Amino acid sequence: MSFEVDVSITRGSRRIAARFEAGPGITALFGRSGAGKTSVLDMIAGLARPDEGRIAVDGRALFDAAAGIDLRPEARGCGYVFQDYRLFPHMSVEGNLRYGWRLAAPDARWIDFEQVVEFLGLAGLLAARPRRLSGGEAQRVAIGRALLSGARFLLMDEPLSSLDAARREEIMRVIERIRDELALPILYVSHDRREVERLAGQIVEMD
């Protein structure tokens, strides 16, 4: 199993719980806005601490309340692609791409800088500052940055939601290529039924 997730967390007065197992390829976490989909990604990334439960990816436990396991975010090997890109504004595109790559252990780097630039078509953007980028460009840089950090799996939080139709198609193709050519397990959050049906091999409904 790529993802084994059984967690719950209390956010204010609400309790958000998720339980699913997912195979390789893209698994969609599908549900209306406010269902707690992002909270689930945050728990898997280690940015939020579940009250209880267990999270494992490819058989490696990232969090296990019963066993006292709670890996730090930087030790989880996760590539988190955020809805709002979160590119570092004080670095160039190249600086953003290399940020995680520099920090990754040499044997964790499974793709190199030139490959990512080629794969995502970033050659013309390397010197640019993030604020100069269009939404589609920024999202490609964010994906490249995650891949270069030596990620063993990707978490994608509505990566298409702030893009226009043409950019959506562009990023959707990129995600399909990551699925097919790089064979990286992806957990994909969305509230768009068509998007999910096109990309995902498996759908987890949250309500």
Partner 1 sequence: MALAPDNISPEEWGIIWLSLKVSAAAMVATLPVGFALAWALARGRFPGRVLLDGLVHLPLVLPPVVTGWLLLIVFGGTGVAGRWLAAMGMPVMFRWTGAALAASVMALPLMVRAIRLSLESVDRRLEAAARTLGASPMRVFVTITLPLALPGVLAGMVLGFARSLGEFGATITFVSNIPGETQTLPLAIYAALQVPGQEGIVTRLALISVGLSLVALVASEVLTRRMGMRAHVL
Footprint on this chain of partner 1 (rule: CB under 8 A)? 45-47, 72-74, 76, 78-80, 82, 84, 86, 88-90, 99-100, 103-104, 145-146, 149-150
Q: Which residues pair with 55 in a beta bridge?
A: 5, 63
* Residue 168 to residue 165: CA distance in whole angstroms: 5
Nearer to partner 1, 131 or 194 (CB): 131
Nearer to partner 1, 184 or 203 (CB): 184
Looking up tokens 């399909």, which residue turns up?
Answer: 176
Helix ranges (H only) for the chain are 37-45, 93-103, 113-120, 135-148, 165-177, 193-199
Q: Is the dihedral of CA 82, 84, 90, 92 positive or negative?
A: positive
Closest approach, Cβ 22 to partner 1, in A, equals: 19
Which residues, including other chains, have CB under 8 Å from residue 167's CB and lie 6 or more apart?
Answer: 134, 135, 136, 139, 160
Closest approach, Cβ 198 to partner 1, in A, equals: 26
Closest approach, Cβ 170 to partner 1, in A, equals: 22
Nearer to partner 1, 92 or 202 (CB): 92
Closest approach, Cβ 147 to partner 1, in A, equals: 11
Nearer to partner 1, 69 or 104 (CB): 104
Nearer to partner 1, 32 or 90 (CB): 90
Looking up tokens 């840089």, which residue turns up?
Answer: 141
Nearer to partner 1, 151 or 200 (CB): 151
Closest approach, Cβ 29 to partner 1, in A, equals: 17
* Residue 148 to residue 159: CA distance in whole angstroms: 18
Closest approach, Cβ 96 to partner 1, in A, equals: 9
**Residue among 185, 198, 189 at smallest CA distance from 60:** 185
